[in-house]
Structure 1
Amino acid sequence: MSEGSSSESETSACSSKYNPIKVLYSSNLKVPVENAPVYENVQQFEAALQNHEQILPIGQGDLVKSREEEKRRKKLEEERLLEEKNKQRFAKYEALLPKRKEKKAKNVLTRIEASQGPLGALKDCVEKRLRVMIITRNSNSIRGSLYATVVAFDKQWNLALSDVLEIWKRKGPRKRKVPPGLGSPVPKGTAAAISPVPEVIEAPVGKGIWECRRHIPQLMVRGEHIVLINITER
C-alpha cells in the first residue's frame, strides 16, 4: 500500500486507521456527511439518539426559540383553563363568604366631602366658590382680616386660599421697630426674580396708626391663626 493511500485511510472517518490529529492538520479532508448534525458533547448526542425530536443540534436557534414560545403559550393556556375551572367549582360558595369592605382612600379631598356642621358650611364655600372673610390673630391680639376664596381645608382649619386681599393695621413708619433678626433688607429685584413680592399699600387712619393692604394670589393659613370665618357673599 502506498503512502498516499495510508494517509487517506488515516483521515477517513470510516477507516479503522482513523487518526484525529492528522485530520486536524489535513487539507484534503472529506466529510462523509456534509449536513450531519453537530452536538455539543457525546452525552447530548446519545440523548438525541434516544429522543431525536427533543434534542436539537447546534445551529437551530430559531427552532429552539419557537419551541420555548410554544411551551410558554401552552403553559399560559393551561393556567387560564385551570383558573376558569376553579372559578366554576367555587362559584356556588361565593355567596357564603364574608364580604370585605373596600378601603376608601382618606385624604383632604375625601374628608371635605364628608364634612358636617361648620366644616360643612366651609365645604359649600369651596364648592360654590364663595368669598369669605377670615379674621386672624397674632401672639396676643387680632392682627387683621383676609378676604379670599377657599380652595381646600382640613379638620384643623388649615386653609388654602386664592385671590386674597389682606388688610391689617400697624404703627406709623416713625414708631415701627424692626426686629434685629430681620437684618438688612433684600436688594431690590432679587426676591422679585424668584417670586413676585406683593405690594403693600399703606394709608393713615389717625392716632399714628396706618392701614395696610396687599393682594396675594395664593396663601396658606394655619388653623391656629384663625379667629373667625364669615361668609361675605351668597
Structure 2
Amino acid sequence: MEPEKEKNPGSDLDPGSENFDCMKALYDPSYEISDKDAVCMDTVEQCIKFISNPDSTRTGKEKPKPAPEPEKIERRFLPEQMPVQSNRKEFKHVLSRMNEFKDGPLGTLSNWQREKTRIKVWTRDMNNIRGFCTGFISAFDKHWNLALRDVDENFNRPRSRKTYSSSTMKSILMPQDLPVEMKIGSSLLRVIKIENKFEVCVRHVPQVLLRGEHVVMISKLS
C-alpha cells in the first residue's frame, strides 16, 4: 500500500488546494477569504449561473442581454391563397383624361385650362340661343360637359314668369321697374333689360356645370 500523503497544515482551507474542505470553510467562523475580489454566493443556483455564464461580472450579476426584436406578425398564405394579379387597366378619371387631349378643339380647351384663360361659352335652350357666360375652366370631357368657376352669366328668360319687385308681386315686369334684383339660391339675379317677350338677366355664380348638349360655341375671351 502506498503511504498516505501528508497534508499540509491549513491546506484544507485553501481554495486552490486539492485538500480544500468546503464544509470546514463554511462553518469555520475564523475562515477568511484571501481574495478580496471574490464573490460570495447565497445559493448553489447562483454559483452554477455564475460559472456557466462567461459574460457575467465578478459581482455575481449577469450583464443585461439585449431585448430580442419583436417578431413581425404577418399572415402566411399558401401559394394557392395568394392574390391573383389581374391585367386590369388603371382607371382614368376626368382630370387625368384632360391631359391626353393634345390636338383639335379639345386640345385647345386643355391649353386654356392649364393657362387659366377666361373663356366665353354660348348656350342654348330648346329652340333658341339662351345666352352666354364667361369663366375659367375647371374640368371638361369629350362630351363637352364643362365645369366653370368664377362665372358671369348673361341669359334671356320669358317675361311671363312671376317675379318680386319691392314688396309687391307682379306677373310681368315693366321697363319702368328696371333694374330688379332678386336672390335665387346663393346668387343675386339682376334683370337689366326687356326685349320683346324676354327679359335679359345677369348673375355671378362661383361655380357652374354646363351640359355638353347645351353648349353652342366656345371662344377665348379677348
Higher strand proportion, which one? 2
Higher helix proportion, which one? 1
TM-score, normalising length: structure 2? 0.48
